[in-house]
Structures are given as structure tokens and as C-alpha cells.
Amino acid sequence: MRFDVVTIFPEMFSAISAWGVTGRAFDQGLASIKTWNPRDFTSDTRRTVDDRAYGGGPGMVMMAKPLEDTLDAVAKDQGTQKGPVILLSPQGERFNQKMASELLDLEAVTLICGRYEAIDQRLVERRVDREISLGDFVVSGGEIPAMAVMDAVIRIIPGALGDAESAAQDSFMDGLLDCYHYTRPENYENLLVPDVLLGGHHAKIADYRRKQSLELTLKRRPDLIDRAREQGLLSSADEAYLVTLQNKTGF
């Protein structure tokens, strides 16, 4: 999968291209990244990409022309390997695991990282296919959200993780939060690993983890229970256990 990233701070992306799971995925050719700096597509000596907002107000606005020229260059470089143009924006759709899986089906995606107060809306209307937000908060630019989106997609590329089951068991992959995990030693500061995890009985372990996942999700993110139910992701055993939990705890 190919990622083209439009950013005035391309150096930031070494954090995802050179380290960890994503770095290995790039090294193995499972994904590729190319950064594009809009300043390289300006004609003035100051390489200006922003200007004051019409109507006044604080902050600067990224200009449409440098961004559009950048996107033209991206499209030409992609050739037939084209994909949607996505703007990381507080006004966008809330990013989630389902969206990450949808992006995985694409050959390529172009991510625009905004800076300053905003991007000229005319560029958005002309060239952006989709806007994505990480949540109801504001950061200084789109670079960190873009890396978060890329990381979420890359880790579910087949072969990106050492064990394919790792991604399958992540939170949200089956609509629920993940269960708790433990490693050595069995006794840490008088806190013990649950006995069922030490017994080696795979069916009992799977049942324990599923129930813990249901309990954590019901307690912390009940909205995910409703969504999983709507999507048909809960079994009759799951529903019976949820009833037991609700009767016992009042969640």
C-alpha cells in the first residue's frame, strides 16, 4: 500500500518510517511512503504557503494554489496507482478500526496535513475526497493524526506483525475492547496472574478472555456493545453473559 503525505514538516515522518512495526513494514515493501512539501511548489523566494484570513480573525490560512500544485504532482507520480485524497481535520469523520480496514483495501491514499488555523475551503471542495478526525480535540497540525491513521492501517496489513493473531486480538477488531494481558512473573508484588491463564486449557482461556472483553467493554464503552449487537457480532453466549453482568453489577 502506498501513502503520499502532503506536509510542510516531512522530517516528522521518520518517526513512523524508521521505527517499530511500521518501519519494518516499509523495509519489507509491505507499504511505502513519500512525503510532499507544498513549499516546493511555490514561486516566491519565501516559499509562502499561508496568508491572512479574509474576514479577519486570528491565525493564518494555508493557500489553495501550493496545495493544489502539490496534489497535481502526487497524482502524476502515482500514475495508475491512485487513491482518495484525505484531509486530517477536526471537522472530519471520527476515525475507527472499521475505517482502517476500509483504507487497507486501497492501493494508495494521499493524506493532507493541515497547519495554521485552517486550509482554504476552496481547495477542500476541489480536491479532498474525505475528511478524517481522531476525535474531539485539536492538535497543532495533521502530521500526528496522519501517522496514527497510517499506523492503524499498516499493522493490519498481512505480514506486518510477527504473529497474525496479534492484530486479530486487538481492541475493536471484533467490535469490543481487548481483554487484560499478563506475562512473567506469575506473582508480582503479591498480584497474581489469573489461574485460568496458567492451566493451558485453550477453550477455557478463550472463554475467560471473551468474558473479560465483554465486561470491560460494558463497563467502559457500552456504546460499543450496542454497535456490536447491531452488527451481529455477539453470540447467544455473549448475550447471556451480558445479562448476568447487568444483573450482578447494574452496568
Residue 222 designated active-site: no
Domains of the chain: total = 2
Residue 171, pLDDT above cutoff 60: no
Residue 90 designated active-site: yes
Provide the domain limits for residue 109.
2-154
> What mean pLDDT is predicted for residues 140-149?
98
- Same domain? For 150 and 173 the reply is no
- Indicate whether 27 belongs to any domain: yes
- For residue 63, what is the domain's CATH number? 3.40.1280.10
> What mean pLDDT is predicted for residues 187-204?
95
Of 95, 121, 154, at which residue does a domain stop? Answer: 154
> What mean pLDDT is predicted for residues 206-216?
95
Task: Pick 23 or 162 by higher pLDDT.
Answer: 23
Q: Would you place residue 169 in the very low, low, confident or very high pLDDT band (cuts 50, 70, 90)?
A: low
Of the residues 4, 155, 215, 238, which is catalytic? 155
Residue for grid cell 471537522: 91
- Same domain? For 174 and 148 the reply is no
Contact by Cβ (8 Å): 111, 86? yes
Distance spanning both ends of the chain, measured CA to CA: 42
pTM: 0.86
Of the residues 68, 69, 117, 131, which is catalytic? 117
pLDDT at 193: 93
- For residue 178, what is the domain's CATH number? 1.10.1270.20
DSSP, res 221: -
Residue 117 designated active-site: yes
Q: What percent of the chain has pLDDT over 90?
A: 90
Distance CA 155, CA 167 (A): 7
Of 119, 154, 189, at which residue does a domain stop? Answer: 154
pLDDT at 16: 97
Strand runs labelled E in the chain: 2-6, 32-36, 50-52, 60-62, 85-94, 108-113, 118-119, 130-133, 187-188, 191-192
> What mean pLDDT is predicted for residues 50-61?
94
Residue 170 designated active-site: yes
- Same domain? For 17 and 44 the reply is yes
